[in-house]
Structure 1
Amino acid sequence: MTKQRTVQVSSDAMIEDLRALVEVESPSRDRDALAASAKVVAAVIENRLGGHAVLVESEAGPHVHWSAGGDPKVLILGHHDTVFPLGTLARRPFKVEDGHATGPGVFDMLGGLVQAVHGLAALDDRSGVEILVTADEEVGSRTSRALIEERALACGAVLVLEGAADGGALKTGRKGCGTYQVSVKGRASHAGLEPAAGVNALVEASYQVLDIAGIGRPGTGTTVTPTVASAGTLDNVVPAEAVVVVDVRVESVAEEERVEAAFAALTPHLDEAEIAVRGGIGRPPMPESASAELFAVARRLLPGLEGRAVGGGSDGNFTAALGVPTLDGLGAVGGGAHADHEYLVVDAMAERAELVAGLVNAIRFG
């Protein structure tokens, strides 16, 4: 079959759709807001591509699934939840100024969704293409993971529309990532009258923080970083409880297994103290081998394009772990993800949309 013709995409039309998405706020875990957002996402897809976008209900909120029909060949993967609470839009409204679009979620990752839709709209034939836009990526993809994996296996190739790495580079590898919570149980007592009668959970937590930090191996890409700690109730009470939260990033399955074993082996230092470990590495590593074939295609389509392995995770970690070819970072060029200075480079939108269209054609027709 011959490669299908594409038509030029319109930056103005993409900005119009981006505004529509940004102006319906979609914070993770807010089911009402996500339900409203999903309807707008579905409307944008149906308006530009035709067909019917199905709202897949979940505890987190609706996921949006669209299929062009035919033998599935490629999955366009994204999410419509954002990290910004309701009210952010009033403080930081959508605007386009000096070549940048700003507003909550423009870079992570509403701009990428718009680019993908318009890239597909430029194709004469969209058969074999599916779009899945989930509602809980920012909080671990607990309700969407099974659906993501099902559609990835059915399609056989995945294009992830997360924002680009610095300078517009694609994301060719990602670390596996997860969160651990280490809870310490001690025994309260009066800090002045009988401190020795207690078991100080804060002191035990301090020992645990040092043990936990020692699990990291930065030389192999493994970072184990205590990030949040809480303990105690009053200044004259020996703390009976403490909690330490830990961010973990690994580059290989072997390191994932080593880290999990190390957390399982943590033991108390103080007599009568107890510890409990919850959590784990929820997103497996995405090795660069998973993106190699698709990245080579992308570089043929856009010479000079760079690829980069990054520390953050995405739903592409799940699909790559299944052995499905996965290319990430195809979304917006910009920066400031999860921050107030988040922005999207408007002049790059058309080129990225055309790149998605070219990759879709190459995957389907060779």
Structure 2
Amino acid sequence: MDASALDTLLNWIRTESPTHDVAGVNLMMDLVVAQMADAPVAVERLPGKEGLGDALILRAGPERDEPAVLLMSHLDTVHPVGTIESDLPLRVEGDRLYGPGIYDMKGGAYFALEAFKDVARRGSASRPMVFIVTPDEEIGSPTTRPVIEDIGRRSAFALVTEPARDGGRIVTSRKGVGRFDVHVEGRPAHAGSRHKDGRNAVYEAARQILAVEALTDYSRGITTSVGMVSGGTAVNTIPQHCRFPVDLRVETVADGERMTKALLGLAPSSSDFKVSVTGGMNRPPYERSAETGKLFEHAKALAAEIGFDLVSCDRVGGGSDGNFTAAIGIPTLDGLGIDGDGAHTLNEYGLISSIAPRRQLMTRLLETLR
């Protein structure tokens, strides 16, 4: 990776862009627009919705009426503004580049955009190319999913620049993701003088959480998790309300439907409480199809020509925008971003040495996918 490209990537990392920081996310989109200014790339900017940042649709390649190669990257991160100044400072230690969002997924987005631009300049694309750059993947892509699915249905292949896994492995299947919100209502009372009159919503929520966690079945690849709980108003008051979200991961559509029914059907332990549940599957399972298998073998052969061995990993627990394209039948390769580790942590880093070969692979995919 040359010094100029590294400087640009460092500037990307300095531009902190957590999902709900519209200014930061839109500044990242500005940087992408500037990156494409001297290339034959048509840029469409979609104004942000629901208090989120803008999205970009980039188009290049032959102007033929045929399905395109679709690339997808997101530029929102999970780290709050200020992380780079304190908890995760930008630094290079040997081959490791540390910083918020470098691994998930600004490193992969940057080199994929460079490959896209280079192929556009040379006119060497095998098909029309479309690149969707999104602002909201880290919260489930609520505003960009319709765009992804609409363009996906008119695409031949989808390439996703989420980070590589487990030493550079590519992703060819992911679990589906469900998100649910549970509200428990009890009866408020003074914790001292009227304790027996109260019905503790937090206590009932604890019962419900035990039931939710018991739905986990590792043998089927099903996990349920409650990571946050909110309830009560004061230490000396029997709480009337308690709320908690549920994270669901499944391997198959059928299990997603079954688990959705179970979670939406949570019932109170007695008539003294009310339990209401909303939500559903946020991302459908991304199952490895025969066509995705062929796409992987093509990528593996290209990687061998470049000089590295491309290996696929087992089904990944986390979701991505690749779940959407795979679910509508588009052959999808994910994990095409840089190698590294520490996504969503304060030890996040990318391996600088992985950037050049991965960029070459992306270039060759854009030039050869027929």
TM-score above 0.5, yes or no? yes
TM-superposed CA distance for 1:339, in Å, is 1.4
> What CA distance in whole angstroms lies between the structure 2 residues aligned with 1:262 and 1:51?
48
Letter in 1 for 2:303: L
Give the corresponding residue for 1:6.
none
Compare 188-197 and 262-271 and name the one that shifted more.
Answer: 188-197
For structure 2, the residue ranges without an aligned partner over 5 or more in a row are none
Residue 184 of structure 2 aligns to a residue whose secondary structure is strand
Q: Structure 1 residue 356 and structure 2 residue 362: aligned?
A: yes
The Cα offsets for residues 127-176 of structure 1, whole Å up to 9 and x where unpaired, read as: 51111110111111011011111111222210000000110000111001
> What CA distance in whole angstroms lies between the structure 2 residues aligned with 1:38 and 1:329?
22
Compare 128-137 and 270-279 and name the one that shifted more.
Answer: 270-279
> What CA distance in whole angstroms lies between the structure 2 residues aligned with 1:25 and 1:210?
38
Q: Structure 1 residue 32 and structure 2 residue 23: aligned?
A: yes
> What CA distance in whole angstroms lies between the structure 1 residues aligned with 2:241 and 2:195?
15
Report runs of 4+ in structure 1 exceeding 6 Å deviation.
none
TM-superposed CA distance for 1:122, in Å, is 4.2
Letter in 2 for 1:305: L
TM-superposed CA distance for 1:29, in Å, is 1.4
Letter in 2 for 1:12: A
Q: How does 1:284-295 map to 2 (within 5 A)?
A: 284-289=284-289, 291-295=292-296
Q: Structure 1 residue 315 and structure 2 residue 321: aligned?
A: yes
Q: Verify the 8 A CA contact 2:264 2:278 in the aligned structure 1.
A: no
The Cα offsets for residues 341-366 of structure 1, whole Å up to 9 and x where unpaired, read as: 111111111100011112222213xx
TM-superposed CA distance for 1:219, in Å, is 0.7
Instruction: Tell me the TM-score normalised to structure 1 length.
Output: 0.92
Residue 156 of structure 1 aligns to a residue whose secondary structure is strand
For structure 1, the residue ranges without an aligned partner over 5 or more in a row are 1-9
> What CA distance in whole angstroms lies between the structure 1 residues aligned with 2:161 and 2:365?
12
Q: Verify the 8 A CA contact 2:36 2:117 in the aligned structure 1.
A: no
TM-superposed CA distance for 1:13, in Å, is 4.1
Q: Verify the 8 A CA contact 2:103 2:341 in the aligned structure 1.
A: yes
> What CA distance in whole angstroms lies between the structure 1 residues aligned with 2:202 and 2:352?
50
Give the corresponding residue for 2:10.
19
Give the corresponding residue for 1:54.
44
Residue 168 of structure 1 aligns to a residue whose secondary structure is coil
Give the corresponding residue for 1:229.
229
Give the corresponding residue for 2:134.
134
Task: Report % sequence identity.
Answer: 37
> What CA distance in whole angstroms lies between the structure 2 residues aligned with 1:333 and 1:50?
29
> What CA distance in whole angstroms lies between the structure 2 residues aligned with 1:118 and 1:244?
42
Select which of 330, 337, 355 maps to 2:336.
Answer: 330
Q: Structure 1 residue 66 and structure 2 residue 58: aligned?
A: yes
Compare 133-142 and 65-74 and name the one that shifted more.
Answer: 65-74
Letter in 1 for 2:212: I
Q: Verify the 8 A CA contact 1:221 1:251 in the aligned structure 2.
A: yes
Q: Verify the 8 A CA contact 1:176 1:284 in the aligned structure 2.
A: yes
TM-superposed CA distance for 1:312, in Å, is 0.3
> What CA distance in whole angstroms lies between the structure 2 residues aligned with 1:216 and 1:346?
38
The Cα offsets for residues 306-361 of structure 1, whole Å up to 9 and x where unpaired, read as: 11121000000011111011100000111111112111111111100011112222
Q: Structure 1 residue 203 and structure 2 residue 203: aligned?
A: yes
The Cα offsets for residues 96-126 of structure 1, whole Å up to 9 and x where unpaired, read as: 3311222211111111011212323443223
Q: How does 1:199-348 map to 2 (within 5 A)?
A: 199-289=199-289, 291-303=292-304, 304-308=309-313, 309-348=315-354
Q: Verify the 8 A CA contact 1:11 1:349 in the aligned structure 2.
A: no
> What CA distance in whole angstroms lies between the structure 2 residues aligned with 1:13 and 1:116?
16
Instruction: Tell me the TM-score normalised to structure 2 length.
Output: 0.91
CA 1:104–1:80: 2 relative to 1, 3 Å: same
> What CA distance in whole angstroms lies between the structure 1 residues aligned with 2:244 and 2:105?
30
Q: Structure 1 residue 147 and structure 2 residue 147: aligned?
A: yes
Letter in 1 for 2:102: V
Residue 291 of structure 1 aligns to a residue whose secondary structure is helix
TM-superposed CA distance for 1:66, in Å, is 0.8
Residue 108 of structure 2 aligns to a residue whose secondary structure is helix
Letter in 1 for 2:297: A
Count matched residues. Answer: 354
Select which of 91, 96, 100 maps to 2:96.
Answer: 100
Letter in 1 for 2:94: D
TM-superposed CA distance for 1:257, in Å, is 0.3
Compare 22-31 and 10-19 and name the one that shifted more.
Answer: 10-19
> What CA distance in whole angstroms lies between the structure 2 residues aligned with 1:233 and 1:94?
40
Q: Structure 1 residue 191 and structure 2 residue 191: aligned?
A: yes
> What CA distance in whole angstroms lies between the structure 2 residues aligned with 1:11 and 1:315?
30
Q: Structure 1 residue 76 and structure 2 residue 71: aligned?
A: yes
